[in-house]
Amino acid sequence: MKATTVRMEDNLLQRVDGIAKSLNRPRSWIINQALERFVNYEEWYVQEIKDGLAEVKNGDIATAGEVADSFNKWGVDAS
């Protein structure tokens, strides 16, 4: 594991420390957990966008009628 330095606002650091205290964990563990969750989400999000763009490129998208039918099932007028 490598060390790094991160600058953050005092308020955020106090919040991190508060979570660390309530979970009886070190500050570094809380920060690592937060970064892991953030990076996992961002990687997923980017992949979803890439997959969606590939679907559009391949023409694998819903027609206007299919979208309207889906909304109509919920009683929403999509016209």
State pLDDT tens for residues 34-77.
Answer: 999 999 999 999 999 999 999 999 999 999 899 999 999 999 98
pLDDT of the residue at 2:
93
Are 68 and 78 spatial neighbours (Cβ–Cβ below 8 Å)? yes
Ramachandran assignment for 12, one of left (phi > 0), alpha (psi -120 to 50 degrees), beta (any other): alpha
pTM over 0.85: no
Q: For the chain, give me the number of helices (H) and strands (E)?
A: 3, 0
